[in-house]
Amino acid sequence: MQTQIKEKIKTAIAFIILVIIIFISIIITYKYSIEGETNMPFKLSKIVIGSMVVSSDNPIQNGGIENEIVQNNGIYFEIKKNEKYRKDAVIDSVTIDNINITKTPQKGYIKTFMPNTTENKKFTYSNDFILEGNRLTYKGASKSDTTTLEINNQGGIVAITFGNTELGKYTLTAEDLVIDGTMLNTMNITDEDIKFSVNFDIIIDTEGKKYKSNMTLNLPISEITTEGKASLEITDTSKYIFKRMKE
């Protein structure tokens, strides 16, 4: 009789321990789904977005009298080292991946541009620099240089831009011409016409460990047909949850 009671007690204790383990596992899994990685070697510290209108760098049409415009949205990501992590940690690469236009504008056509690699400026809005595919990778290096697709392996900046093309042309000889968002008014284009959304992943690869976060951005960031251009600096990046990628 006593043996049976002891066995029941052992079974009950084992069951309670199993329930506790399962409960703790559920709590840890739920917390990870909400918070993600809390002690990454490097983190996304800031996002800066600039929305404006620029002149296309494609060959000028109609005998040099007209040129096309591009409503561009430059996005800059600052990757910063976690001072609480090992000091010898380095960045192998940072990738903007799985780029997808989830909402298309009513007017124009969205193209993704990579940084310029031949001229002394960050972006050239020509067909030569349209990103082929849906991925842009910056390799870790001794310094950051967006034009050569390199990021300082101790932290730096990566950039990409989304341009709304085929919106219209303007006359180069027009007097007092100001190339900014307000010129869209003369083309009967409203802010509502050019709104679009883009979704992509940010992947930080450090010493073989990859951390990924997904984000959606609604562009342009402001009413540029009245403001001309606009910029936005996001310093609270806590909503962009990074999780460890499985190998």
Please give the DSSP secondary-structure letter assigned to residue 116: P
H-state helical runs in 142-215: none
What is residue 175's predicted lDDT score, i.e. its pLDDT?
64
Q: Same domain, yes or no, for 125 and 220?
A: yes
CA distance linking residue 26 with residue 48, whole number of Å: 37
Query: Which residues have a Cβ under 8 Å from the Cβ of 66 and sit 6 or more positions away?
Result: 60, 169, 170, 171, 172
Q: Same domain, yes or no, for 172 and 76?
A: yes
Task: Identify the domain containing residue 54 by its residue range.
Answer: 40-244
Backbone angles phi, psi at 213, to 5 degrees: -135, 145
Q: Return the structure tokens found at 44.
A: 């996304």
Q: Same domain, yes or no, for 31 and 61?
A: no
Query: Residue 25's CB: how many other CB atoms inside 10 A?
Result: 10
Q: Same domain, yes or no, for 108 and 163?
A: yes
**pLDDT tens digit string along 144-197?**
888 889 999 999 999 999 999 999 888 776 666 778 889 898 889 999 999 999
What is residue 132's predicted lDDT score, i.e. its pLDDT?
87
Please say whether the beta carbons of 219 and 197 come within 8 A. Answer: yes
Q: Same domain, yes or no, for 8 and 73?
A: no
Q: Same domain, yes or no, for 78 and 122?
A: yes
Question: How many distinct structural domains can be found in the chain?
Answer: 2
Q: Same domain, yes or no, for 151 and 237?
A: yes
Q: Same domain, yes or no, for 223 and 123?
A: yes
Predicted TM-score of the model (pTM): 0.84
Q: Same domain, yes or no, for 157 and 94?
A: yes
